[in-house]
Copies of this chain bind each other. A is one copy, B any other.
Amino acid sequence: MKHSLETYNLFFGSLSNPNRLKILNVLRNKNLNVGEICNYTKFEQTMVSHNLKRLERCGMVFSEQKGKQRYYSLNKKTIKPLMKLIDEHMGIYCVHLIGRKI
């Protein structure tokens, strides 16, 4: 491990939340501003902003101001291979817990 446990913890913690995962998911195909993310996810604006902030701090999304709106985009370079890795892992080791809570 190259970095501190705290840093890894922060990274993984950012991904261990269904709402943040959903936000990442709606950003997969196109860049969206906060309002659009709210529409797609049916989440409240403040909640989305809080979660976007955390995702951005961890480098999982980027943002760019365009007029009054701020557009968010997925860090595909990290998120795509990450998801791929986990999909493969789950396909092998986690079949038993698909659909479970714990």
Q: Choose from B5, B78, B92, B94 the contact partner of A7 (Cβ within 8 Å).
A: B94
Alpha-carbon distance A22/B97, docked complex (angstroms): 24
Q: Choose from B7, B17, B86, B87 the contact partner of A97 (Cβ within 8 Å).
A: B7
Q: Are A18 and B3 in contact (CB under 8 A)?
A: no
Task: Given A25-B1, A82-B85, verify A94-B11 contact (CB < 8 Å).
Answer: yes
Q: Is A47 an interface residue (CB 8 A)?
A: no
Mark each residue of chain A from 60 to 89: 1 if its CB lies under 8 Å from any CB of chain B, else 0.
000000000000000101100111011101
Q: Which residues of B contact A102 (CB under 8 A)?
A: 10, 54, 57
Complex A-B, nearest 8 residue pairs according to Cβ-Cβ distance, in ascending order: A59-B93, A12-B16, A13-B16, A12-B15, A2-B87, A78-B89, A16-B16, A5-B18
* Besides A8-B83, A10-B102, 8 other A-B contacts (C-beta < 8 A): A2-B87, A8-B15, A10-B97, A11-B89, A12-B21, A58-B97, A59-B93, A81-B85
